C-alpha cells in the first residue's frame, strides 16, 4: 500500500513538473527531407538544427558573440527552452505542404523553418502564410520564393542572383588570369531549384559577356545520366555548371569517369555536390570542382572552427554548407522569438522584420542578417570553394581564401 501511495505521489509530482516544463517551452517546426532522395542532406540539416537548439538552450561561453549562445534558453522569456518538432517532407511538395499543416494545426508550433528543396519550401510556406505563422527558409535559393508578396516569409540565405553575381566576379578573375571561357553549359535538375538557378545564371551571364551555349535540364530522380555526359563530351564547352541534388550528382561523377570526360573547368552549384555523403563517397572523382559555400571552418579560435568541432563531435563529420545555413537560420528564428518575448505570431513577425545581426554574431560567411520588405536577407553572401584532395576549401574572395585556384583534375 505504501509503495502504491509513493508511486501515485511520484506520478503526480512528475505530471506537475511536466506541466511546468511545457509552459516553459517554445515549439518550432522544422521541415526537412528526412527520407527520399535528399535524405542524407536532410538528416545532416537535422543534426545541425538540433545543435542550434543546444546552443540556444545551454549557456555556452566559448562561442563569443554568436547569436543566442549566451544565457540558457530564451533569456527574455524567463529562460524558456526551445523544442524543435521535425517533419519529414519526403522530398515531395505535397508532403511538405501537409507537414506544414500538421505542424501548425496539431503541433501548434510558433514558427517554422525549412524545407531544403526550393520546390517544397514553395508549398510549405504557402500553408504558413495562410495561417499567419512565420516561416523562415535557411537554405532554399529559388528567386521567386521572396517575390510572392508573402507577409510571413523570411529567407536568410543568399539567393540565385547573389550567387550569380559571385560566380561572375570569380569567372572574370579567371578570365583575366588567362583562362578561356567562351562557351558555357548548364546542366540543371528541372524542379524549382535547378530551373531558377539556371535561369538566373543565363540572364546574369549574358549581361556580363559570358555565353551560355548549352542548357541541359533533366529530372533528378533518374537512373541514368550518361546521355547528358555524352552531350557535353560531344560539344566540349569551356565551362560546365552542374545544378543537382545528391543521387544525381553521384551518378554524374561516376558517369564522367566511366566515359572518360574531364571538362576544362567545372563548377557545381552547392546542393548535391556539397552533400557530405557525396564528398565522402565520390569526392575523389571530381578533384578541382568549383563550388559555392557560405561556410568555411576557418582557423582554430574562430567561432566557425569551434562550431565545426562541436558538429564533428556530434556526427563524426565536418559541418557542410547547407547544414551550416540551416543552423544559422534556426538561430535567427530563435533570436527573433527571444526579442518578441512571446509566441504570438504577429510579435515574432515584427521581431523578424527588426532582425539586425552583425557579422560577429553569425557562423556562416554572411555579412549579417537583415531582412528587406520582401523578407530577403540583404546581407547574405557566399564564398567560392574548390575540391582540394577530397575536401572543399575557400578560394575566393582573396581575403577569405585559404588556397589558390587550380585546374580541374577529376579522378587520378
Partner 1 sequence: MSPILLQVIVGGLLLGAVYALFSSGLTLIWGMMNVVNFAHGDFVMLAMYVAFWTWAIIGGGPLLFTPLAAFALAVLGVVVYFGVVKPVMGGPMLAQMLGTFGLALFLRYSAFWAFTANFRTLPEDMIPGSFVVGGVRFEAAKVVAGIVALLLTIGLHLLLTKTRLGSRMLAVSEDRQAAMLMGIRPDRMQAIAWALAAGATGVAGALIATFFYVSPTVGETLAVIAFVVVSLGGFGSVPGALVAGLLIGVIESLSAFWIGAVYKDVLVYALFLVVLWVRPQGLFGKL
Q: How far is the CB of 227 from partner 1 (least distance, A)?
A: 3
Q: How far is the CB of 390 from partner 1 (least distance, A)?
A: 14
233 binds partner 1 (CB under 8 A): yes
Contact present, 224 and 250 (Cβ < 8 Å):
no
40 or 302: CB nearest partner 1: 40
Measure the CA–CA gap between 15 and 214, rounded to whole angstroms. 64
Task: Name residues contacting partner 1, limited to 250-289 (CB under 8 A).
Answer: 250-251, 254, 257-260, 275, 277-278, 281-282, 285
224 binds partner 1 (CB under 8 A): yes
118 or 246: CB nearest partner 1: 246
SS3 at position 154: strand
199 binds partner 1 (CB under 8 A): no
Measure the CA–CA gap between 215 and 210, rounded to whole angstroms. 14
160 or 247: CB nearest partner 1: 247
217 or 397: CB nearest partner 1: 217
Report CA-CA distances (Å) from 120 to 73, 115, 261: 30, 6, 33
Contact present, 262 and 286 (Cβ < 8 Å):
no
Sign for the CA dihedral angle at 363, 365, 369, 373 comes to negative
119 binds partner 1 (CB under 8 A): no
Q: How far is the CB of 218 from partner 1 (least distance, A)?
A: 3
Phi, psi for residue 367 in degrees, rounded to 5: -90, 5
**Total residues interacting with partner 1, rule: CB under 8 A:** 41
Q: How far is the CB of 35 from partner 1 (least distance, A)?
A: 6
Task: Name residues contacting partner 1, limited to 393-412 (CB under 8 A).
Answer: 411
- Cβ partners under 8 Å of residue 389, min gap 6: 287
Measured CA angle at 149 (ends 145, 154), to 5 deg? 55
Selected range binding partner 1 among 97-105, 117-125, 139-147, 219-227, rule: CB under 8 A = 219-227
68 or 251: CB nearest partner 1: 251
288 or 397: CB nearest partner 1: 288
Q: How far is the CB of 220 from partner 1 (least distance, A)?
A: 10
Measure the CA–CA gap between 186 and 197, rounded to whole angstroms. 10
Task: Name residues contacting partner 1, limited to 172-191 (CB under 8 A).
Answer: 190
Q: Which helix (H) or strand (E) holds 165?
A: helix 160-176
Q: How far is the CB of 250 from partner 1 (least distance, A)?
A: 5
319 binds partner 1 (CB under 8 A): no
Task: Name residues contacting partner 1, limited to 11-50 (CB under 8 A).
Answer: 34-37, 39-40, 42-43
232 or 395: CB nearest partner 1: 232
Measured CA angle at 220 (ends 219, 226), to 5 deg? 80
135-137 and 111-114 beta bridge pairing: parallel
Measure the CA–CA gap between 141 and 146, rounded to whole angstroms. 10
Selected range binding partner 1 among 124-132, 142-150, 242-250, 382-390, rule: CB under 8 A = 242-250
Q: How far is the CB of 137 from partner 1 (least distance, A)?
A: 21
- Cβ partners under 8 Å of residue 373, min gap 6: none
189 beta partners: 218
Residue the block writes with cell 555565353: 211
Contact present, 116 and 173 (Cβ < 8 Å):
no
Interface positions with partner 1 (CB under 8 A): 34-37, 39-40, 42-43, 190, 216-219, 221-228, 230-231, 233-234, 246-247, 250-251, 254, 257-260, 275, 277-278, 281-282, 285, 411
Amino acid at each position: 500500500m505504501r509503495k502504491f501511495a509513493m508511486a501515485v505521489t511520484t506520478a503526480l509530482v512528475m505530471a506537475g513538473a511536466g506541466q511546468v516544463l511545457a509552459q516553459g517551452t517554445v515549439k518550432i517546426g522544422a521541415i526537412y527531407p528526412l527520407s527520399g532522395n535528399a535524405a542524407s542532406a536532410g538528416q545532416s540539416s537535422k543534426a545541425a538544427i538540433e545543435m542550434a537548439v543546444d546552443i540556444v538552450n545551454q549557456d555556452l561561453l566559448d562561442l563569443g558573440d554568436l547569436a543566442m549562445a549566451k544565457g540558457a534558453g530564451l533569456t527574455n522569456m524567463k529562460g524558456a527552452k526551445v523544442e524543435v518538432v521535425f517533419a519529414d517532407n519526403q522530398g515531395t511538395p505535397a508532403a511538405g505542404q501537409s507537414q506544414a499543416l500538421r505542424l501548425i494545426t496539431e503541433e501548434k508550433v510558433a514558427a517554422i523553418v525549412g524545407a531544403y528543396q526550393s520546390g517544397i519550401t514553395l508549398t510549405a510556406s504557402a500553408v504558413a502564410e495562410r495561417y499567419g505563422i512565420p516561416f523562415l527558409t535557411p537554405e532554399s535559393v529559388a528567386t521567386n520564393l521572396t517575390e510572392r508578396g508573402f507577409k510571413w516569409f523570411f529567407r536568410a540565405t543568399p539567393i540565385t542572383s547573389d550567387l550569380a553575381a559571385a560566380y561572375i566576379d570569380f569567372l572574370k578573375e579567371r578570365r583575366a588570369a588567362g583562362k578561356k571561357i567562351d562557351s558555357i553549359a548548364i546542366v540543371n535538375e528541372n524542379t524549382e531549384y535547378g530551373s531558377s538557378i539556371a535561369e538566373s545564371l543565363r540572364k546574369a551571364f549574358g549581361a556580363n559577356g559570358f555565353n551560355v551555349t548549352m542548357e541541359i535540364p533533366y529530372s533528378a530522380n533518374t537512373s541514368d545520366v550518361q546521355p547528358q555526359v555524352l552531350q557535353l563530351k560531344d560539344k566540349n564547352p569551356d565551362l560546365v555548371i552542374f545544378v543537382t541534388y545528391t543521387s544525381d550528382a553521384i551518378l554524374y561523377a561516376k558517369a564522367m569517369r566511366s566515359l572518360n570526360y574531364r571538362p576544362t573547368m567545372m563548377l557545381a552549384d552547392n546542393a548535391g555536390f556539397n552533400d557530405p555523403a557525396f564528398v565522402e563517397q565520390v569526392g575523389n572523382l571530381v578533384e578541382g570542382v568549383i563550388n559555392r559555400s557560405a561556410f568555411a571552418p576557418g582557423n582554430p579560435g574562430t567561432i566557425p572552427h569551434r562550431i565545426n568541432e562541436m558538429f564533428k563531435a556530434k556526427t563524426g563529420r565536418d559541418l557542410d554548407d547547407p547544414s551550416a545555413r540551416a543552423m544559422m537560420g534556426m538561430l535567427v528564428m530563435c533570436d527573433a522569438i527571444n526579442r518578441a518575448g512571446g509566441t504570438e505570431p504577429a510579435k515574432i513577425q515584427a521581431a523578424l522584420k527588426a532582425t539586425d545581426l552583425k557579422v560577429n554574431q553569425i557562423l556562416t560567411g554572411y555579412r549579417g542578417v537583415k531582412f528587406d520588405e520582401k523578407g530577403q536577407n540583404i546581407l547574405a553572401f557566399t564564398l567560392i570553394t574548390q575540391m582540394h584532395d577530397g575536401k572543399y576549401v575557400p578560394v575566393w574572395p582573396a581575403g577569405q581564401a585559404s588556397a589558390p585556384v587550380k585546374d580541374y583534375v577529376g579522378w587520378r
